[in-house]
Amino acid sequence: MNKKIKYGLIAFVIMTPIAFIAGHEVALRSEPFAVMKQAVEKSQEIRDYTGHISGIHLGWLGYMVKYSGPSGEAAFEVTVSGSKHSLTVFANLKREAGEWHITKMNMIKKGDSNN
């Protein structure tokens, strides 16, 4: 095997997980994630189902964030764990004039594919 190809493959194998983890961490610390998390915590409907919220967990592939200047969009899929139940929340956000706003937020109760 050619040395360049060998070292390229080694670099790819090492860098891919690092980039994956870094992207996840950036999404967790992003402004749209904070807006979505606050909306989940304030949602009476979510709290009624879950009970006391003990965690909001972002999946490894459960996010998309892109913006340029004052506009942008984001989407998140999170698992909300509570004292009574857990559920999945899907949220879409839009950034206009530098402010993030939730445009859509759906919850899927565990075992419920119709919600």
Summary mean pLDDT of the chain = 90
Kindly tell me if the per-residue pLDDT of 102 is higher than 90.
yes
Q: Assign 3-class secondary structure to 52-91.
A: CEEEEEEEEEEEEEEEECCEEEEEEEEEEEECCCEEEEEE
Predicted pLDDT of residue 90: 97
pLDDT tens across 74-98, in order?
A: 999 999 999 999 999 999 999 999 9
Of these ranges, 12-16, 21-25, 67-71, the one predicted with the greatest mean pLDDT is: 67-71
DSSP for residue 115: -
Distance of alpha carbon 53 from alpha carbon 37, whole angstroms: 11
Q: What is the pTM of this model?
A: 0.83
